Amino acid sequence: MNFNLGFYASTRNKSSKANILKVYDEIKDEHMKINRFMIAAPKSGSGKTMITCALLQLLKDSGKNVLSYKCGPDYIDPMFHKKVLGVPSKNLDTFFTDEKTTVQLFLDERADGDFAVLEGVMGLYDGLGGIYEQGSSYHLAKVTQTPIILVVDAKGMGKSVLALIAGFLQYDTHHLIKGVLLNRMSKGYYDIIKPLIEKELSVKVVGYFPEQKDIGLSSRHLGLVMPDELSDIKKQLNETADRLKKTIDMDLFIDIAEAADEIGDSENADKDKRQTLKNAEPMRLQDQNNTVNIAVAMDEAFCFYYEDNLKLLEKCGAKLQYFSPLHDTKLPKDCDALLLGGGYPELYAKELSENISMLNAIKKAFRAGMPTVAECGGFMYLHTYIHNICDDTDEQNKADEQNKADTQYNTDIQNDVSVSQLVGALDGGCHFKGKLVRFGYIELAEKHSNFLPPNEKIKAHEFHYYDSTDNGADCIATKPATGRSYDCVISHDNYWLGFPHLYYPSNPHFAESLVRKAYEYRRNKNGKLL
């Protein structure tokens, strides 16, 4: 039941999406059971990520074959999950994909694990635009029928914590909240408040976690500091797990996970319409040795990729060749396309600018017509320069303070100069604005069909503090919550360049188009059909 989409070399038509996906097909009456729970919270900053990582470590130590998932478009939290488990974590987002596809993306990996932990995003009910259910942790839990353990930041609270929990339980119309963990609470007060919560609210308290002043995950303006920037991250995560083990009832966590419904078999499931994406046989290339090669930038500066995006490219017929714009001097041998993901190129602008051989290699490949997709940081990298001093005078003080904060985690990122020369494939540059330029979910439509069939859209997310002297005008981005729209993206022939982070499973045609363009590029390069 893999989400398997085939490479196609034929022309597209208006019904091509249906042809690719073979529509939804009825599944067999098989039980889809995986033990699981979601860690969620009333608000951001409640400690979800540290507690999730600690639980992943404890489950791993107990011999469980654990899979992890992150609700929403976040890139960094899954990196922390991977740091614990040693395997990639996946994003699940009910804005990016419809309910059936979201379930299938969740189930796609179930053969690789016997236990799943999902980490929520923001507050439990905070979805699209902050007011809609779609895209929220609760919606994902409902769609995947996953029990929720609510992490409550109880610092500074007395009995009022009961009122808070009671409100969330009352709003939980599907009765998914099965346990509560009290974060930043002392043992003395926990012993008093736990029996009150369980008696008055009829919900299990799975434990508590005292405030940890010597460990914790640091943040910057774009979110958490990435795990590889923290030299002692493994030590911190292990120490957190050791401490959490002493203050929670791990058996109760496992009981809640094991009591999770079989997906598709609960009373809330539509038993007559239980469907999944049917396997589609890929179109065979004439020679299996002629798989197209996509060079993927992957290092400290470029590391924001959705796992399902990469898998979808592979399922469309691509071999991914990872390289480092920071450390390598040339592109991978015999590559047919280029994927430059997001990240923090601004933190490594000096190092990137000094790697002249790589800058020239990418510029040469781009100008030779190599198919290129560049998102956010990758888009910035293609510009002629990056300007790291805030352009907005009113925001400069904030920016200076943030730069100081960032420097304590990586002494190499302090900007020696304000301007760094980059690839130069695009005229103009990118400028630090000191504040969010564009933020949140969007739907993208091409003005002229290139990577997408006519009149189709792909879903994406923006979150950046930089802006370009030319953001492009080949696509229309629409905010689904407000309907506001704006022009963006430079898209022509073989390239798609812009700040939006794309989610390929929301429209698999995008991945197929990149592979098809790589195929055509290779064919033309070799002067013969493959």
| Rounded distance between C-alpha atoms, residue 164 and residue 182, angstroms | 12
Residue 97 in contact with residue 244, Cβ under 8 Å?
Answer: no
Residue 481 in contact with residue 439, Cβ under 8 Å?
Answer: no
Q: How far is CA 197 from CA 158, 325, 529, in A?
A: 12, 53, 70
Residue bearing tokens 């409640």: 46
Residue 507 in contact with residue 459, Cβ under 8 Å?
Answer: yes
Phi, psi for 324 (deg, rounded to 5)? -115, 115
| Rounded distance between C-alpha atoms, residue 171 and residue 287, angstroms | 57
Q: How far is CA 530 from CA 141, 284, 358, in A?
A: 46, 11, 28
Residue 306 in contact with residue 88, Cβ under 8 Å?
Answer: no
| Rounded distance between C-alpha atoms, residue 279 and residue 225, angstroms | 39
DSSP conformation letters of 213-225: SS----EETTEEP
CB atoms within 10 A of CB 124: 27
| Rounded distance between C-alpha atoms, residue 417 and residue 419, angstroms | 6
Which residues are identified as catalytic? 376
| Rounded distance between C-alpha atoms, residue 244 and residue 55, angstroms | 8
Helical (H) or strand (E) element with 318: strand 318-323
In sequence order, what are the beta bridge partners of 262?
none
- Closest-CA residue to 40 (of 219, 176, 198): 176
Residue 522 in contact with residue 502, Cβ under 8 Å?
Answer: no
Residue bearing tokens 């009022």: 160
State the Rg of the chain over Cα: 24
Residue 237 in contact with residue 57, Cβ under 8 Å?
Answer: yes
